[in-house]
Structure 1
């Protein structure tokens, strides 16, 4: 067997160094470097080090590393009287000025993510994640209850992701026939608020989540009078409604738990009611694809013992809980993107 080419070796090391790059981006967000460089301007590493109160030479080495993966751009110096180390923004580094993006980054490198993935070998062997071993808790949700800072970052990051998805989700969603909408696991309530803003026909909207989440929700004085927060457990009972929203919820759970959620809804859904399930729809016909579905799927296993499901998987959940799938809607040009699966009671 011949030795691998230089390009193959470099690709290999690029993959294996992924943890270094994610840690560097995390530190960049914690230092808030992106906010110290104006969008259409540039700044020297000397100025940055003084503003950030960090070691100048190490900051320069740090910034140089970030430029190699597309964060910031070091300007070329042709004047020999000028020193190196003038940086400006790229499209990637500009994203770091957004609080929602920073929250997502902090969530992705938080201890619960890192610790959960330490159990990958065991999960490949057994098919499940042993959170008692990796997190010292029975599951991810119990872990969050005792780790308030991570819980706050997690909830804010979910809101940040929702903010990014909203235009796409609304483009293939229709709430014009519903009087009451309940967003199960709706977190800070952003998606429900946007739905209410766009559909005046809705008379009542309930943002339903765990007590620990609802207690931390804070709203402005201009809150829509139709909106309300309600704490509870969707494995036990949910408010009566003619539309339930499950956005990035079902993929958090294994089949047994997902079916239990749907059965709880089955007890309360009004005649003719619908369930709107927003999750990635895993298309197994896309082989060797470069979209992140495979990694999302593994992450759901490691963190939640969940999965990204195929259409057949969703049909199984529907059948086992007394529902049927009416329709699937998804973005027309983005394979394996977040889709909408509409359930109705049999």
Structure 2
């Protein structure tokens, strides 16, 4: 909620609305799990009709849809039929730019449960994730492949709408060998290579992640190599190494280690590009501020300001050259190798 919207209602009502805000992601998760939006693709339907097809109770479904309709996710007409809205349409599994997997990731218990114990994080400075799930975030994922799938599909869906605009915001054509470090299924690298036909790419990630890589399906197998490995210990060489939504998962100490490895793999005159939220000054709303608290609750990471990026880059032997804004919530932090001493 913006400052303007908040000031338009009494303070006590503002606080009540914020306190009940968790009901909206709960409702989103429910309708996505049930596939409600998919059933409306052929036209509007009543909650009773949807419930009969889905094998669920009609009244609870109606009440959840009614709540979501207040925030323009679905709409109800005078005859009681529910329609797809633009926001509801992208909850369909087959929709272009579908956010179905992103919703299932963002409201998964691995994020939800630690956020419910945020006061513990504030008291101790540590996430309660290990106490809740028995292992740190990524170690838990390694032990639970079904959760890993939710995370990686969710990240791909989360990123699909931003990849093209980000790739168009920077002159990647100046590079010939582009390495996407921890690049997941390769959605961003696909956009970069499509826009820069002279460039070659390397998609670098864990072997189990690369099994779902999109490179071949995009027709780019002849220009992009899949390399499995661990960015905590090594990175393929190139004149552009990309870290998109990687450093925000980790502490400064770990991030500096990752950056040092990237510096060691960087060709002379090359660039390391960190693609993450850059937190602005002041109280202006920014998606990075929400993600920052999410990172703090479940992971050891954080979103950073420009000055915080400058500090960790310097500690890794890199120099911040500039911050390039994009049409998304992310910016491109461009860094070069600092002169050797």
1:26 is matched with: 29
Structure 2 unmatched ranges of 5 or more: 1-7
- For residue 73 of structure 1, what is the aligned residue in structure 2? 75
Asked if structure 2 preserves the Cα contact closer than 8 Å seen for 1:282 and 1:308, the reply is yes
Q: What is the TM-score normalised by the length of structure 1?
A: 0.88
Counting only pairs closer than 5 Å after superposition, residues 1-346 of structure 1 correspond to structure 2 as: 7-38=10-41, 41-77=43-79, 85-98=80-93, 100-137=98-135, 139-202=136-199, 204-217=200-213, 219-220=216-217, 222-284=219-281, 286-287=282-283, 289-331=284-326, 337-346=329-338
Quick one: distance in 2 between partners of 1:64 and 1:119?
Answer: 29
TM superposition shift of 1:59:
2.5
RMSD over equivalenced CA pairs, Å: 2.1
Aligned equivalents of 2:319, 2:265: Cα separation in 1: 16
Q: The residue matched to 2:235 in structure 1 has which SS?
A: coil
Q: TM-score, normalised by structure 2?
A: 0.89
- Structure of greater Rg: 1
Contact 2:45-2:82 at 8 Å conserved across structures: yes
Specify whether residues 263 and 221 from structure 1 end up closer, same or farther in structure 2 by C-alpha distance, changes over 3 A only.
closer
Q: Distance in 2 between matches of 1:194 and 1:246?
A: 15
**Contact 2:263–2:272 (CA under 8 A) maintained in structure 1:** no
C-alpha distance in 1 between matches for 2:319 and 2:103: 37
1:158 positional shift: 1.3
Q: Give the total of aligned pairs.
A: 327
1:221 shift after superposition: 8.2
How many Å apart are 1:227 and its aligned residue? 1.3
Query: 2:250·2:301 contact (CA, 8 Å) conserved in 1?
Result: yes
CA 1:178–1:293 in 2, change beyond 3 Å: closer, same or farther? Answer: closer
Instruction: Give 1:242 shift.
Output: 0.8
